[in-house]
Amino acid sequence: MTVMKTVAAAALVLGAQAVQAQSIPTTGTLVIVPANGEVRAPNDQAVATLAIEEQDKDKAAAASRVNQKMKQGLDILKKEDPQARLKTQGYYTYPVYPEDRPVPMGGTPKRPQPVAWRVGQYVEMTTTSLGTLPKTVAAAQKILTLNNIQFGLSPEATRKLDDQRIAVTYRNLNERIASIASAMGRKTSDAVLETVDFEGTGNYAGREMAPAAPMMMMRAAKDTAEVAEPSFEPGETTLDMRLVGKVRFK
């Protein structure tokens, strides 16, 4: 009997505490509500970096071959993918020094002289023609070298996806407000949304930039070499968003 009385007393205390918690006034309460949204879409754009590099004892000869082959590579890219956007960049010229530099006994080290010159250039291709991308790259690889490739969303696809992202995030905010109102013993209609902050999170996903291409260490293939088509999987991009809403209960 003593145990049963103790349990009954504890139940009465907990019940009284629950009633007291439910009776806490919430009129005028300001609630900060975070919300999240996420949308996904297949990547529809590729940014490929191709390059050419030549080495020769004659700096002018190396530069001349680079200029000629880059022009040939650009012509191939334009022919295979007329809609692609091309941008040449990263032209460089570096001296090549001998690996062994003997120092005469008791003498002063001489200033090393270059034994050759390495000259190269990059071209960046941006395209939405993903279906023909392997064929385009393989054709260009007869002269140029594929240095880097990044897949992502085109500006048009990003804008469309952004509309969905905002809608999904705002829906999540309404769902959370409804849950909070229920937990507080209030009706959703008692909640007034005072502020929605889309900029305070610092989350700006989806703005990807391709990393700078590293320097090539190998020469490009010969013009006559046939190159098998590479395999690409564009994948998908996920864009997420966080917003913060301020809700006041009447």
pLDDT at 100 over 90: no
* Percent of the chain residues topping a pLDDT of 70: 76
Tokens (6 digits) for 193: 């949304």
pLDDT at 200 over 70: no
Give the count of alpha carbons within 13 A of 143, CB side only: 20
How far is the C-alpha of 119 from the C-alpha of 96, rounded, in Å?
A: 10
Crossing angle of helices 59-80 and 133-140, in 10° steps, is 160
| Stated pTM of the model | 0.67
pLDDT at 40 over 70: yes
The CATH number of the domain covering residues in 46-99+111-152: 3.30.70.2970
End-to-end CA distance of the chain: 48
pLDDT digits (tens, 9 = 90+) for 163-192: 899 899 989 998 988 888 888 888 888 888
Phi, psi of 53 (to 5 degrees): -140, 140
pLDDT digits (tens, 9 = 90+) for 41-93: 999 999 999 999 999 999 999 999 999 999 999 999 999 999 999 999 999 99
Total H helices, total E strands in the chain: 4, 7
How far is the C-alpha of 48 from the C-alpha of 73, rounded, in Å?
A: 13
pLDDT at 25 over 50: yes
Q: For 104-128, what is the mean pLDDT? A: 84
User: What is the CATH superfamily name and number for domain 26-44+153-207+233-250?
Assistant: Protein of unknown function (DUF541), domain 1 (3.30.110.170)
**105-114: Cβ within 8 A, 24+ apart:** none
**Burial of 141 per CB tally in 10 Å (0-12, 13-18, 19+):** buried
Query: Do the domains at 26-44+153-207+233-250 and 46-99+111-152 have one common CATH topology?
Result: no
Are 28 and 192 in contact, with CB atoms under 8 Å apart?
Answer: no
In DSSP notation, 3-28 reads: HHHHHHHHHHHHHHHHHHHHTS--TT
Per the model's pLDDT, the better-predicted residue between 61 and 17 turns out to be 61
Q: What is the pLDDT of residue 225?
A: 60
Q: What is the pLDDT of residue 241?
A: 87
- Name the residue ranges covered by the structural domains of the chain: 26-44+153-207+233-250, 46-99+111-152
Q: What is the pLDDT of residue 83?
A: 95
Query: CB 218: neighbour CB atoms within 10 A?
Result: 7
Average pLDDT, the chain: 81
